[in-house]
Structure 1
Amino acid sequence: MRILVTIASRHGGTWGIGEVVADTLRERGHDVVMRAPEDVADLAGIDAVVLGSAVYVAHWMPSARELADRLEDELSAVPVWLLSSGLATQPANAANSPHETAALMHRIGARGHRSFHGRLDRSVLSFTERATISAARAREGDHRDMVAVAHWAGQIADALLPVPA
């Protein structure tokens, strides 16, 4: 099965999560294409999609939201899973669940959504991002659980196995 993993990531942390998803799906025998949302023109030849975004101030990045809007009909026609990655130390169901996710899941019939803790490196942040992070009292460091990411990707791989006749 040909799977598109498309991830919106500002500083590379969420992209790294996408790489683990893509690698796990490849290890399970799938043909995987990984691209940034702005590099996806259509879903021609794609059988399933994992669409993800870093979360900033409780919202997905614009490029991921724009891809979902632009390709809504095509996304509705294939199995889709969503992932979010946000503030490293905030509870996933509070800080990492963007407002748009529930509506998007409903619109495209996504099979699931998973939030993951992120990575925080203040040295790569803009002044505005540093101010936002300070207000949220997030801890610096890499808090991503790549074992959990690979496990989730394995569940996706299992869900895409052909059903015996």
Structure 2
Amino acid sequence: MRVLVTVASRHGGTQEIGSRIEAELRSRGHEVDLAAPADVVSIDPYDAVILGSAVYTAHWLPDAREFAVRFAAELPTKRVWLFSSGLATAPAAAANSPAETQDLMEATHASSHRAFGGRLDRGELTLAERAIIAAARGKEGDHRDMAAVVGWAGQIADELAS
């Protein structure tokens, strides 16, 4: 199957998740392209789309939301999965599943949505982002579970093969 993995990432952490997904699908025999949502001009060549976004202030990044709008008519004809990556940890883990996720699930006819932890390096942040992270009490470090990412991608690969 031909799969598009498209990821909106501000500082590269969510992009790295997309790269792991791409690698796992490719290792399972699928033809995979990895692209930023703004760079995708057509989804016609693809059998499946995996759309992911970093989560900031409990929202997906605009490029990912705009991708879903731009391809709203075509996405329901594809197999679609969504994922989010953010810094929320218990008890605020719901912030990694923003309110718009349900709307995106319905609009894209996605099979599922998966939330993953994110990565925080304050040195990469703007002053405004550091203020938001301080107010949200974001914990510095890499909170991504790459084994879970690869496991999820493996489940998708199995579904695509069936």
Q: Please state which band the TM-score falls in when normalised by the shorter chain.
A: over 0.9
TM-score (norm 1): 0.95
Q: In the alignment, which residue of structure 2 is the partner of 1:100?
A: 100
Whether the aligned pair in 1 keeps the contact of 2:87 and 2:143 (CA below 8 Å) is no
Q: In the alignment, which residue of structure 1 is the partner of 2:50?
A: 50
Whether the aligned pair in 2 keeps the contact of 1:90 and 1:117 (CA below 8 Å) is no
- Deviation of the 1:3 alpha carbon: 0.2
RMSD over aligned Cα, in angstroms?
1.2
- Deviation of the 1:87 alpha carbon: 1.1
**Matched-pair identity in %:** 60
Question: 1-side partners of 2:149 and 2:88: how far apart?
Answer: 15
Paired amino acid for 1:35: A
Q: In the alignment, which residue of structure 2 is the partner of 1:5?
A: 5
Paired amino acid for 1:21: I
- Deviation of the 1:74 alpha carbon: 1.0
Across the two proteins, how many residue pairs are aligned to each other? 162
Whether the aligned pair in 2 keeps the contact of 1:90 and 1:138 (CA below 8 Å) is no
- Deviation of the 1:104 alpha carbon: 1.1
Residue-by-residue CA offset, 1:50-106 (whole Å, 9 max, x unaligned):
000000001000000000000011111000000000115355741101111101111
Q: In the alignment, which residue of structure 2 is the partner of 1:159?
A: 159
Over 2 Å off, 4+ runs: 88-93
SS at structure 1 position matched to 2:7:
strand
Q: In the alignment, which residue of structure 2 is the partner of 1:64?
A: 64
Question: 2-side partners of 1:11 and 1:132: how far apart?
Answer: 15
* Structure 2 counterparts to residues 12-23 of structure 1, below 5 A: 12-23=12-23
Q: In the alignment, which residue of structure 2 is the partner of 1:87?
A: 87
TM-score (norm 2): 0.96
Paired amino acid for 1:137: R
Residue-by-residue CA offset, 1:110-132 (whole Å, 9 max, x unaligned):
00000000000000101111001
Relative to 1, partners in 2 of residues 1:92 and 1:15: Cα closer, same or farther, differing over 3 Å? Answer: farther
Whether the aligned pair in 1 keeps the contact of 2:88 and 2:95 (CA below 8 Å) is no
Relative to 1, partners in 2 of residues 1:51 and 1:92: Cα closer, same or farther, differing over 3 Å? Answer: farther
SS at structure 1 position matched to 2:74:
helix
SS at structure 2 position matched to 1:73:
coil
Structure 2 spans left out of the alignment, 5+ residues: none
Residue-by-residue CA offset, 1:134-162 (whole Å, 9 max, x unaligned):
01111111110000000000000011113
Paired amino acid for 2:113: H
Structure 1 spans left out of the alignment, 5+ residues: none
